[in-house]
Homo-oligomer: A and B are copies of this chain.
Amino acid sequence: MQKLEAVTREVLKKITPTPEDRVKMKALAEELQQKTARACEEHGVKATIRVEGSIAKDTWLREEPEIDIFLRLPTSVPRRELGEIGLKIARRATEGAKQVERFAEHPYLEAFVDDVRVNIVPCYEVKQGEWRSATDRTPFHTDYVQKHLAESLRGEVRLLKKFLKGINAYGAEIKTGGFSGYLCELLILHYKSFAETLRAFAAYTKRITIDIEGYYAGRQNEQRLLFPEPLVVVDPVDKGRNVASAVQPQKLFTLVAASRAFLKAPDTNFFYPPKTSALPVEELRNRLENRGTTFIFLMLERIEAVPDVLWGQLYKTQRALHKLLELNDFKLIREAVWSNEKSLNVFVFELEQRFLSKAKKHLGPPLERMKECEDFLDKYTNADSVVSGPYIEGNRWVVMLHRKFTDAVELLREKLKDGGRNAGVAELMAKSFREKLEIVVNSETVEAYRRNRDFAEFLTSFLSGKPFWLETTEAQR
């Protein structure tokens, strides 16, 4: 317990903004607010401009400040123009800064001003509950947290956010599928402290449900039907919404496991993960060749898309490739998709074996299904695809068939040469596959590994598999 307090105290010192930080950020936020207001005027757009997010709620991390400026537009603006108007104004307001277009429900702009990440996001000015776009709720979230979150709890929010960042479960964007800042604030509102929050997740069994405003008091069944997710946090400003609905199971369970590990052996490492150092190339080659499994890498060069769209397409394509391999009997051990969002995108599939047998057993109908048996015999009794049979095994007909694809790489090449749209590959990936399909196996990946340090670090940690915090805590035992 003392260890836990010592660790959180140490971390808190680093992540709490100093008075100077606050002055600087406040000035920057106000300046941006004014610039945005001016840009609106110039473009003849009527809008209420507000600072939202962690700055407004004083839950930002000193080392990673982020400013969210919201333009609340009148509902007379057509839905399809909302994004474009927002982008135009945001570009003007942050002129001269580095700008990245992003996408949630509609596009918005991310800019880097004085090294601070700034998001300028449009939404509608509506009454609570009359939502027109997904971001309309944000100002209400800000108001709710400002009103209910005691000053003494802001440090706890900071600790939770930093912890989630450390274990790579922070952020609601598609790439991460983790915990949003607002979700962190609600968790602290409910559990009252960082340590209690971790204790609650460490004790996870089946489901965690939080309903701060008690909207479903006495109606638990209704709540269960409405929200099937394993983690449910009812939005205090919208009882029909689960704030945690976008949290991927993987991220939820990572928090569960990391909470257990941290409570057992608290360590600042959880908040400040050690950097992975990529294995020397020869060592990598060795490991890949001697592991006794097969790694297949599908490499794509630059894909033109904002990160959220890119990741959406990468994940969709990963699912499609996964299904394709499994439908053809290849046994997947593990998989991942990696991207630097710029020059390189990589799908990794680790298979038990690259090659399957040339023949496989194919179960036919049980003898009691007379019609199906007849069809089965008509189809297979003299078919070229049959290696052996039909024969009776127990109560059913069985045949041994030639396998269509015995090589996973050949399967992928064949099914992706037209891009793989039929197999479920996402549009942008399909285009890229069609133009240049690059598949490399095992240590053939060293070329990319040598060229790209980030990819090398990713692959090194993929090979180990162990989360860094498991290495740390186990070493301490």
User: Which residues of A are in contact with B by a Cβ distance under 8 Å?
Assistant: 202-206, 230, 249-250, 253-254, 256-257, 260, 291-294, 331, 333-334, 352-353, 356-361, 367-368, 370, 373-374, 377, 381-382, 387-397, 399-400, 402-403, 406, 463-467, 470, 474
Contact = CB atoms under 8 A, between A and B. Distances in A.
A204 to B, nearest CB: 6
Given A203-B370, A253-B367, A367-B257, A291 B358 contact: yes
A470 B390 contact: yes
A257 B397 contact: yes
B352 A357 contact: yes
Contact of A291 (B249, B359, B406): B359
A392 B250 contact: yes
A395 B361 contact: no
B474 A249 contact: no
A358 B293 contact: yes
26 contacts: A204-B367, A205-B370, A230-B395, A250-B393, A253-B367, A253-B396, A256-B367, A257-B367, A260-B374, A291-B388, A292-B359, A292-B387, A292-B402, A293-B358, A333-B359, A334-B388, A334-B391, A353-B353, A353-B357, A377-B470, A377-B474, A388-B463, A388-B466, A389-B465, A391-B465, A399-B465
A400 B465 contact: yes
With most chain B CB atoms within 10 A of its CB, the pick from A353, A388, A390, A464 is: A388
Given A257-B392, A334-B361, A391-B466, 7 more contacts: A249-B394, A253-B396, A257-B397, A293-B357, A293-B359, A353-B353, A382-B474
Which 6 A-B pairs give the minimum distances between C-beta atoms? A292-B358, A388-B465, A389-B465, A352-B357, A205-B368, A391-B465
A293 B467 CA distance: 39
Nearest to A400: B333
Contact of A381 (B203, B256, B463, B470): B470
B373 A260 contact: yes
A105 B331 CA distance: 48
Contact of A467 (B249, B392, B403, B474): B392
B357 A292 contact: yes
A75 B472 CA distance: 79
A467 B397 CA distance: 11
B359 A465 contact: no
A89 B463 CA distance: 75
A361 B333 contact: yes
Nearest to A475: B382
A322 to B, nearest CB: 12
Contacts of A394: 249-250, 253
Contacts of A253: 367, 392, 394-396
Contact of A466 (B230, B334, B389): B389
With most chain B CB atoms within 10 A of its CB, the pick from A202, A358, A466 is: A466
Given A334-B361, A356-B352, A474-B381, A390 B466 contact: yes
A399 B466 CA distance: 9
